[in-house]
Structure 1
Amino acid sequence: MTTIAIPQGMPQYGDVPRFDVEKVRADFPILGREVNGHPMVYLDSGNTSQKPQQVIDTMREHFERHNANVARSVHQLGTEATEAYEGARAKVAAFINAATPDEVVFTKNATEAINIVAYAMSNAGPGSSFNIGPGDEIVISEMEHHSNIVPWQLLCERTGATLRWFGVTDAGRLDLSPLEELVNERTKLVSYALVSNTLGTINPTSAITTRAREVGALVMLDASQAVPHIPVDVADLDVDFIAFTGHKMCGPTGIGVLWGRHELLAAMPPVLGGGSMIETVTLERSTFAPPPARFEAGTPPIAEAIGLGAAVDYLTSVGMEAIRWHEKELTTYALDALATVPGLRIFGPTTPVGRGGTISFDLNGVHPHDVGQILDSVGVEVRVGHHCARPICVRYGVPAMTRASFYLYTTVGEVDALVRGLEQVRRVFG
């Protein structure tokens, strides 16, 4: 894998080396293309990030030279594929500071990771710490992605439990004032976004985890918008589960991660049954493998996991602290620049403190779909809609939002292009 060298004497973010964004951009082939005759300005990384050549090459090499199934073969190709697959698991574990690679379960995406925990809870029998039923409660927040709302709604429908949630302040922060009332002795699990996919808010953890420990509740974080952008240390977070996805962190689609404390994964019942997740099988009954295999039934996304491992290598070579500070500077610049656009309303924190590089906004009198189409006509690619977070749109009284989301390859010039595009929108709509 090619690493990114930080030149001697390069400016610093405090003690963090600043990477060369143009050198980073050169690793992403797609960033050189045009859209509608304009240089492409890709501001939709919160939805799907672009892929560096290093990830593309790693996956191509796997298919060309090492393609075989894992854990089922003693032949050379099977051994190579298994070593690469398990090597990717070890890379991910190190990336988030897991205690052991066995705490990393490969899934299809973050949605599947969250559903595994939800279905494991409904599969748990009496006496299990995961058992849930009438009188028990699950707590989420108003700013969640649908993937961290719907699974818990379905769990409550299956079991008779009750779903409750934290509200969101006008400034886009979690309202923790009812923390002690919301998280109580009936609470089985609290699940919320570490970073909001719509508001960009970086949510606090210590107060919630402390309260959860007091009442014996588990804590899960949707870290899909966190792991790609900021250093995430599961030991430091002191939570029980996190979920994230590969395609937002320079990796391929079709691969995600459920991290859980090993003792909890070992106590969780399986969700999918089939090959690879078993210990023994008879016609009368089966016993199950220890985690992570217990939750990886069938042929896994092998090439995708290997691609995720290459993405972890790439992000590590750039430096997650450097990525965080690059995005913080971009966000500071973008918040100031967007504030100059008449009639533009930003949702979420309007200062760069405690927020990431995702900015959702409304342009007065113009539907977000129209905003997105005109921006696309000048090569600026943003996201429009409710961003799979419709309750937050309802909270702020809008049918949809326009969202610009930044990443390590985003430049100040691209923020300027966004502002020029919005000026074009205003000219078209008067």
Structure 2
Amino acid sequence: MDPKALKAEFPILQQDINGHPLVYLDNAATTQKPRSVIEAVKTYYERDNANVHRGVHTLGSRATDAYEGAREKVARFLNAASTREIIFTRGTTTALNIVASGYARQTLREGDEIVLTQMEHHSNLIPWQQAAKVTGATLKYIPLQPDGTITLDDVEATVTERTKIVAIAYASNVLGTVNPIAKITEIAHRKGAVIVVDGAQSTPHMKVDVQALNVDFYAFSGHKMCGPTGIGALYGKAQLLESMEPVEFGGEMIDFVELYDSTWKELPWKFEGGTPIIAGAVGLGAAIDFLEQVGLHNIEQHEKKLSRYAMEKLSEIEGLTIYGPRDERVGLVTFNLGDVHPHDVATVLDTEGIAVRAGHHCAQPLMRWLNVSASARASFYLYNTEQDIDRLAESLVKTKEFFGYESIR
């Protein structure tokens, strides 16, 4: 894997920002798109644009084939047992809301428990808060260790026979923590609970096998893995999806409609009401082709190397605090530089052509656990290099100087 050669496949990365070559380190928020994905979406609109599942004309048939072909790619990518288990959504947020509304609100009763962690993105927290309010269920949290990890002993202690749902991120978008999902799943199932996994920060960076993990639901977004915005998917075990009612009603998801009642299509279409995100699905399929050509194992190893290098380089900067585990983590580093506000850090870095994220990262409870209001985050992907991290470190030293701190490396 040659990240410099891969970078050439991304048109947006071939530009200068504020007089400097762009160093894009905001990949946990969204990744850039290679030419093959851009061309796939462009070709769909120029050649195949039509609604799916409806028309018998040639364009409609080609659009349907492209859309359902993308579903087949997602099923293979996740190693789902069937395409029936893949629901196209707008992204991770929508997918998690479908589970919280279509499954949790139907099955939970007063006194039941939903188990989370404090590292969850708001998308994997607020839907469960709302489900608990409606059903009378109780929210419980697996405690975090000082380095932002969780222990299986704490999972065992928190998940009880009253727990019906365990909802957890595979990887934290702030701490970089990679949770032991297979082992957590075993505990959840042994206690009689289903497990819902937020895969937004794991799917782009490592090989995911939903059958090997034995998870019940798994959600991810296309835009974090070289695909378009506005498209993602929910994986769910077929028997669970069959038991759920749709959460969106209208055209395309129906079987028969009478004046006073209706019946639904079979999986997966009963969850895809209205005109679906056809171009997005086509682009997601092209992104999967691209990632599989590069190799998920190669991407994972490259990011681990970058993370280790970033931890070493940034740890040399006096006054910089890094959050999360020192070792096993996905490709991101979240930090604060003395008492300089993260937004100011990000602004100065932008003048150097370096794009990072600053704020609470949609994880306000975790920020409070860290005892900060916000932080800066540099996140890496397959096109980033050690030279990008060198640029980041050098610019952070300049940031210290800009704000009047002594430059110590």
TM range (shorter): over 0.9
DSSP 3-state at the match of 2:335: strand
Structure 1 stretches lacking a partner, 5+ long: 1-18, 125-130
Do structure 1's residue 29 and structure 2's residue 11 form an aligned pair? yes
1:297-336 CA distance string (max 9 Å, x none) = 0000000000000000000000000001111111111110
Do structure 1's residue 41 and structure 2's residue 18 form an aligned pair? no
Contact 1:383 1:403 in 2 (8 A): yes
**Residue aligning to 1:363:** 337
1:245-274 CA distance string (max 9 Å, x none) = 000000000001100111111111111111
Do structure 1's residue 287 and structure 2's residue 263 form an aligned pair? yes
Instruction: State the AA in 2 paired with 1:328.
Output: K
**Residue aligning to 1:251:** 227
Contact 1:123 1:271 in 2 (8 A): no
1:173-195 CA distance string (max 9 Å, x none) = 02443323321111111010001
Counterparts of 1:155-304 in structure 2, within 5 Å, are 155-304=131-280
CA distance in 2, matches of 1:123, 1:137: 12
Q: How far 1:123 moved relative to its partner?
A: 5.1
Do structure 1's residue 378 and structure 2's residue 378 form an aligned pair? no
1:279-306 CA distance string (max 9 Å, x none) = 1110121111111101100000000000
1:309-366 CA distance string (max 9 Å, x none) = 0000000000000001111111111110011111111100122xx2110110011121
- Sequence identity percentage: 50
CA distance in 2, matches of 1:205, 1:424: 40
CA distance in 1, matches of 2:3, 2:212: 29
State TM-score, norm by structure 1: 0.93
Counterparts of 1:342-357 in structure 2, within 5 Å, are 342-351=318-327, 354-357=328-331
State TM-score, norm by structure 2: 0.97
1:114-146 CA distance string (max 9 Å, x none) = 00011113552xxxxxx1121111111100000
DSSP 3-state at the match of 2:140: strand
Instruction: State the AA in 2 paired with 1:374.
Output: V
DSSP 3-state at the match of 2:153: coil
Do structure 1's residue 66 and structure 2's residue 48 form an aligned pair? yes
CA distance in 1, matches of 2:383, 2:198: 24
CA distance in 2, matches of 1:407, 1:122: 34
CA distance in 1, matches of 2:134, 2:81: 33
Contact 2:195 2:217 in 1 (8 A): yes
Do structure 1's residue 93 and structure 2's residue 79 form an aligned pair? no
Instruction: State the AA in 2 paired with 1:400.
Output: A
Do structure 1's residue 135 and structure 2's residue 111 form an aligned pair? yes
CA distance in 2, matches of 1:45, 1:355: 15
**Residue aligning to 1:394:** 368
Counterparts of 1:75-154 in structure 2, within 5 Å, are 75-121=57-103, 124=106, 131-154=107-130
Give the one of 359, 373, 390 matched to 1:416: 390
Contact 1:193 1:221 in 2 (8 A): yes
Provide the aligned length of Structure 1 versus Structure 2.
404
CA distance in 1, matches of 2:32, 2:384: 11
DSSP 3-state at the match of 1:275: coil
DSSP 3-state at the match of 1:80: helix
CA distance in 2, matches of 1:23, 1:180: 46
